[in-house]
Structure 1
């Protein structure tokens, strides 16, 4: 009997950033894989996720590689990096995710998805900067919700619950889970797959094996890798984010902030509607 094959697609969250073991990232997907299959026939796990990946990368590079492996289960968690780019386009994000899900499901793969917290909240940015990012995050999550239902994917509401605001769940960068956070995700995904009847073994342990980083380690990371990460993001995102923040401030001063929310909602509705039109056209 062939072992259950699990392939993980996505960005740094799925790559395992925040959960370092033996100088390498492990993460929730690897922890989940340990709880799939059986003792006599453990899961065959492949992690294709790459830090910084956007929906375009998952569609163009990771999906073809995954399809060649013909996985029984594939997780697709991506979209946060799209929201952090000046090129953000919810129509493009929706079209790419729709194709990724459809191609995997066409092979009979069980697709696992999740909605995620918005970066502005996690980074505790000022309101004028956080609100535009939150709006983008809600747009991506709405699309993921709709497309997960459309394609029959198993969806985890990872943007909800107390865990989002628990400090112990997050690493020094406040963007990626700590070991405890990765374990919490693995446990929830394991529960989701078990409820669907996927062969699973014992659930991953929710208890961290490693000590949390010291304050000195956190400060060192913020002064080195953290600064470099922020510099890269600022070069690409900051000019547009400042423009969005100024637009936010103008609408707030005029009492018309609701228009921004309505515009974002309309863009999401348009993106999903265009997929339906394309599907009908293809069927015809």
Structure 2
């Protein structure tokens, strides 16, 4: 498909990043960058259709088994695939298997759509990012290789300093804020050849550093509300997405939820 063409449909595949956590709406559901992108594309094309198959917590093997065949069958104009990062955050990971599963996903999706979009996911600056950076970069090398082979677009969020800013991340330190999701939507929009609405790479204004008390309070809240439950799920082998359906499982005309 020619870039900047009239896209008539979008299917989003992946995990919590694509589901939209933590861009919460008043009813408690999540919006996220994929919904924002769909809303923009729908403004250009009457009857635009959208499906979002992403479910929080999913590993790349689960994405391939549960989402990829459904997405491929939808024959959408645009498919976005972001997966594998949850695997890299596990204490132990077989990166060879991650590569094989990601390859399997791309090989199924690329022929099924007119434009496949892959991403180098963003990462929050801090000790967790530093610890897992080698695995992430190994994953992104695979993304780049597959994109070159299958003529997919790669959106480089990992290389964007603005998205590493801790203020772009929610209190759980794993998911983007609404502003972060808005910037990702703009990045994908531009990658599809659309005219820029703004510069998603613009850094946030400088802010005074937090004092010791504020930092410790934030750390304690994070540990209590997010870290302990996350570790508990790792120990028990459970996932936050177990039993959870996709929020938009069918490719249907898009209507934006109200804020």
What is the TM-score with the length of structure 2 in the denominator?
A: 0.73
Q: Whose Rg is larger?
A: 1
1:46 aligns with 2:46: no
Higher helix share: 1
Q: Superposition pairs for residues 148-227 of structure 1, below 5 Å?
A: 148-195=147-194, 203=197, 222-227=223-228
Equivalent position of 2:232 in the other structure: 231
- Count of aligned positions: 216
Equivalent position of 1:16 in the other structure: 20
Equivalent position of 1:256 in the other structure: none
Distance 1:205 1:38, change over 3 A: farther
Distance 1:190 1:172, change over 3 A: same
The separation in 2 between residues aligned to 1:40 and 1:218, in whole angstroms, is 45
The separation in 2 between residues aligned to 1:3 and 1:145, in whole angstroms, is 24
Equivalent position of 1:70 in the other structure: 75
For residues 224-265 of structure 1, the C-alpha deviation after alignment (integer angstroms, 9 at most, x for no partner) is 3442123323666xxxxxxxxxxxxxxxxxxxxxxxxxxxxx
Q: CA deviation at 1:97?
A: 1.4
Q: CA deviation at 1:4?
A: 1.2
The separation in 2 between residues aligned to 1:217 and 1:20, in whole angstroms, is 20
Distance 1:3 1:115, change over 3 A: closer
Equivalent position of 1:279 in the other structure: none
Q: CA RMSD in A?
A: 2.9
Query: Please, which runs of 5 or more residues in structure 2 have no aligned partner?
Result: 1-5, 201-213, 238-259
Q: CA deviation at 1:55?
A: 1.1
The separation in 2 between residues aligned to 1:123 and 1:226, in whole angstroms, is 15
Distance 1:29 1:3, change over 3 A: same
The separation in 1 between residues aligned to 2:64 and 2:53, in whole angstroms, is 12
The separation in 1 between residues aligned to 2:62 and 2:138, in whole angstroms, is 19
Equivalent position of 1:80 in the other structure: 85
What is the TM-score with the length of structure 1 in the denominator?
A: 0.67
Q: Secondary structure at the match of 1:35?
A: helix
For residues 182-218 of structure 1, the C-alpha deviation after alignment (integer angstroms, 9 at most, x for no partner) is 00100110011125xxxx9x95997xxxxxxxx8999
The separation in 2 between residues aligned to 1:205 and 1:185, in whole angstroms, is 11
Q: Larger relative contact order (C-alpha < 8 A, sep ≥ 6)?
A: 2
Equivalent position of 1:264 in the other structure: none
